[in-house]
Structure 1
Amino acid sequence: METTTLSFQNMHTHGELFTNLLRARRESFIVQNRWDLPEADGMEFDQYDTPASRWIAVHEFGEVLAGIRLTPTTARVGMYSYMIRDAQRGLLPSIPSNLLDFEAPVEPHIWESSRVFVSRNVPAKLRMKVQHDLMTEMINAARKLGATQILGLVPAVWSRWIKRLGLDAEPAGPVLNIDGSESQVALMHLSTNLH
């Protein structure tokens, strides 16, 4: 099993990994969760998949087992910034605007994690390892990018697995039902995570 951080600068050196990641996202979010998201050629994508973002994939033999997208909170593409902030600003009608307990930050040391998933094909006995590898790579990649905090809209059960992984995070908004899934914004503090 491998874990890779992709960017527009290096994705050409990883063959089909990026397209396989977008295919796995489609399987998780469009097929499994039945979310109404953009797709083309069997891949899920949106306006936040830009050169400012990074993508983390846990993969084995070409199959993507889990993934995350990291986007700086300073990102700007036309009228969009990052998903949580744009939802708060009312630009994303599928996500409630009251998802945060404070104004969405625009700071170089805070990055957003989004499109977090673990494939349903991952056996139960491997899920914890896959989650651990995914979170460890996310923390390492975010730190290399200068982040000290990560803001993410994640499944509301995040507090169960985040503690098992030894990570420091706190709720940053209410639990919300979004497209039939209980979700919540969490704020992770990287300075206290030593992974």
Structure 2
Amino acid sequence: MIDLLTLETAHYMGTALRDQYRFRYKQFVMREKWDVPSYRGMEYDQFDTPAAAYLVWRDDEGSVRGLVRLLPTIRPYMTESLWPELIPDTGAPRSPDIWENTRFGVDGDLPAAVRKQVSAELIVASIEFALSQQISAYLIVSPRAVLDRTLPRAGLRPEVQKSAVLASGHAVSSAYVQVSEDVLVAVRRRLGLTHAILRHYEQEQRHAA
């Protein structure tokens, strides 16, 4: 399962909010050598605001081992603020039905089969979240290998917009990924996931009450 974590729901989920920052430090600062802010072993940036939503995969001990961060484009987001060279020709989106999908990561210490499963669940959960929020598309920035191979293998069709080499030396492209009920059905079928993946703790607590 993938848990939906926000500032408003973090109190239902123990240390998950802190742990996702620690996971990001391990994944992006230690493993991938990103030059990004960190504090006491936690990676963060200016986009970790109350508007951000995090999809987290946790192991049996409750540790965050997989993550994606989702940002509404009606608030400040990375592509618009940091990477003008990757903004689509149609302009930087600012719409409630387009969100930015960032910080996708799966713990490299997990066994290969588990990493594959976590990645699949994060993709499906991203689509489920989109449909629950009336989101029609994600804007993502990613290496071309992900756009050309990984996402198409999952049944998605990235629409590549711009390519650039960032100051960090990473070669990336921006792309739109359209989401819909039909896309969810196709991706679930391709990845072998037949049931809902995303868990909303706030809804569960409300129903329990």
Q: TM-score, normalised by structure 2?
A: 0.81
1:177 CA displacement:
4.6
Task: Specify every segment of 5 or more residues in structure 2 that has no aligned partner in the other structure, as ranges.
Answer: 186-209
The 1:150/1:122 distance shift into structure 2, 3 A limit, reads same
| Distance (Å, rounded) in 2 between the aligned partners of 1:101 and 1:74 | 16
Partner of 2:69: helix, strand, or coil? Answer: strand
The 1:137/1:146 distance shift into structure 2, 3 A limit, reads same
Which residue number corresponds to residue 78 of structure 2?
83
1:176 CA displacement:
2.8
Is 2:132 the partner of 1:144? yes
Percentage of identical aligned residues: 29
Paired residues for 1:176-191 under 5 Å: 176-177=165-166, 179-191=168-180
Cα deviations by residue, 1:15-62 (Å, 9 ceiling, x for unpaired): 011111110101111111211211112111111011111001111122
Give, as a single letter, the amino acid of the residue that structure 2 aligns with 1:157: A
Which residue number corresponds to residue 72 of structure 1?
72
Partner of 1:55: helix, strand, or coil? Answer: strand
Which residue number corresponds to residue 144 of structure 2?
156
Q: Give the aligned length.
A: 181
Paired residues for 1:1-195 under 5 Å: 2-60=1-59, 61-75=61-75, 81-88=76-83, 97-102=84-89, 103-158=91-146, 159-177=148-166, 179-191=168-180, 192-195=182-185
| Distance (Å, rounded) in 2 between the aligned partners of 1:120 and 1:177 | 23
1:127 CA displacement:
2.4
Mark the structure with the bigger radius of gyration.
Answer: 2
How large is the Cα RMSD of the aligned pairs?
1.6
More helix by proportion, 1 or 2?
Answer: 2
1:180 CA displacement:
3.4
Task: Specify every segment of 5 or more residues in structure 1 that has no aligned partner in the other structure, as ranges.
Answer: 76-80, 89-96
